[in-house]
Structure formats: structure tokens, C-alpha cells
Amino acid sequence: MATTLPPYATTGQKIWYYGFRVFCGLVFFYLIFPILIVIPLSFNAQDFFTFTPEMLRLDPEGYSLKHYKDFLGANGDYSWLQAFSNSLIIAPLATLLSVSLGTLAAIGLSQPHVPFKRQIMALLISPMIVPLIITSAGMFFFYSSVSLQGTLFGVVLAHAALGIPFVIITVTATLSSFDTSLTRAAANMGADPVTTFFKIQMPLILPGVISGGLFAFITSFDEVVVVLLVGSAGQKTLPWQMFIGLREQISPTILAVATILVVISIALLTTVELLRRRSERLRGMSPG
């Protein structure tokens, strides 16, 4: 496969070249279409999940903010807003916990000569691999026995454990390109290890830490199985509400919620991409 088609290409080569691109285009369409389609649908004035004739005619009558108003409690139902605020409490707490512990451990694991490094890494990444239903069933049994089941703290603890692998992966990746002679230079000039960490190492690995934190945040913000089993009525998060809504009577408010979540993920993706490009540029790996 060539990047550009040479002028002497045969018909067969041309068919192959364009066919390949059309196929890839269709796959890209398949990837992005379901995510983007919810955005126009969420402005539907009717309670339908498809485009109404008015919408197709681009008639303003066909569009409204009805579903967004319902999300904000215009119909007297504040459960969505309540769920949203629960999510906004749980996710940052879980992120804080996994980022602080995870960064510390990633620094430890990046030292030369760590005993059992492979085993420790395998253990720390396993929450990402073990199916969520198993993790949450186990957490239900164990947290019940220590009276954490059905508490906010229990859910935060569980979500923090799920976020750990992402922090470990991103921070160790950033640390692998960290020049350790910088910390030695700082120590040489009389800085103690804590000062060295905050003044030298932390600013340089910060992009990795933030990316890891965003991954941990989205993991908690998007998690539903653990909340179903470990949480109780007091910890209904946004995904919980969506899951219940989708399983039972599917309400069009979900379209508005989905759109809000898509916007949030676009914002997070942009942040992570900018951070990645910045650190690549600093390391001279990318043309910018």
C-alpha cells in the first residue's frame, strides 16, 4: 500500500487503493457515527428516539431543549441531577486516592533494582483485567463483612482500586523517559529528597500524572457494576441512573445525558492529547 498513488498505477492498483480507503472510511464512520448521532437526537421536541419529519425538514418546531430541562429537573424529577452530583462527589475522591498512591508507587517501581517488579506490576494492573462483575461481587462480600457496603467510602475505595492501573501505566510510561541525573544533580546541590521531588521530578512528570488522573476520573465517572453491588440508594451515580433507565422504561432524557457525557469526553480527550503532544515536543519526539 502506498501513501500516494503513482501516475503509472494500473486500474487494478487504483481499485485497490480507493477500495482500501473507502473501507477504512466506512470503519471510521462506524466508530464515530453512534457517538455523534445522539447529539442531534437529544434536541428532539418529541419523545422519540429517531428523527421526526420536522427534524429532517430542519424545522425549528422539531427541535427543543425539552430533554435538557428534564435533566435539570423541569418535570419535578430531580433524580438525574442528584445522580450527577453524586458522581461529581465520588469520582474526584476516587481519583485523588488513586493518583496520590499510584504516583508514589510508580516512582518506586521506576527505580533500578526493584525486587519482584514484574509480579508487583501484574498485581497492580489486574483490576483492569479482572471482569467487573467478579470484582464487584467480591467487594460486596468483603465490604459487607467490614460494614463498608452501601457507604460512600466503600464506593470511593472500590473506584480508586479500579483507577490504579491507569495511573500506574501512564505515570511509569512518563517516568521511563525521565532523566534520573536531574535528581542526582539536585541532590548534589543540597536539595533533600522531598524538595527534589516537588521541584524537579514532579513538574516534569506532571503531564503523565494528569493523564493518569483523567483516566482514573473517567473510570469512576463511567462505572456502573460496582455501584450497583457495592453502593446503595444514597450513592446513585449518573451511570447507575442511565443503566436502570435503559433496562427498564427507556426515557429520552438519556439522550440529553449522553450528549453531556460526550461533550465531557471530548474535553477530556483534548486535554490528554494536548498533554501528550506537549511532552512529546519537550522530548523532541514529534514535529509538533
What is the C-alpha to C-alpha distance for residues 16 and 10, in angstroms, rounded to an integer? 10
CB-CB contact of 95 with 163 (8 Å)? yes
Sole window of 60-68, 69-77, 133-141, 180-188 interacting with another protein (rule: CB under 8 A):
133-141
What is the C-alpha to C-alpha distance for residues 273 and 286, in angstroms, rounded to an integer? 13
| List 55, 80, 90, 102, residue binding another protein (CB under 8 A) | 102
Sole window of 58-66, 78-86, 168-176, 177-185 interacting with another protein (rule: CB under 8 A):
168-176
Shortest Cβ 51–another protein spacing (Å): 7
Instruction: Tell me the C-alpha to C-alpha distance, in Å, between residue 141 and each of 20, 43, 138, 148.
Output: 51, 43, 5, 10
Coil, helix or strand at residue 150: coil
Residue 137 as a binder of another protein (CB under 8 A): the answer is yes
| List 86, 95, 135, 201, residue binding another protein (CB under 8 A) | 135
Which cell numbers hold the place of 123?
498485581
The interface with another protein within residues 181-240 (CB under 8 A) comprises: 211, 215, 218, 221-222, 224-225, 228-229, 239
Residue 114 as a binder of another protein (CB under 8 A): the answer is yes
Shortest Cβ 169–another protein spacing (Å): 6
Residue 157 as a binder of another protein (CB under 8 A): the answer is yes
Instruction: Tell me the C-alpha to C-alpha distance, in Å, between residue 25 and each of 1, 33, 151, 193.
Output: 16, 12, 47, 52
The interface with another protein within residues 246-275 (CB under 8 A) comprises: 246-247, 250, 254-255, 258, 261-262, 265-266, 268-269, 272-273
The interface with another protein within residues 53-92 (CB under 8 A) comprises: none
CB-CB contact of 70 with 245 (8 Å)? no
Residue 153 as a binder of another protein (CB under 8 A): the answer is no
Shortest Cβ 137–another protein spacing (Å): 6
Output phi, psi for 81, to 5 deg: -65, -40
Residue count of the chain, please give it: 288
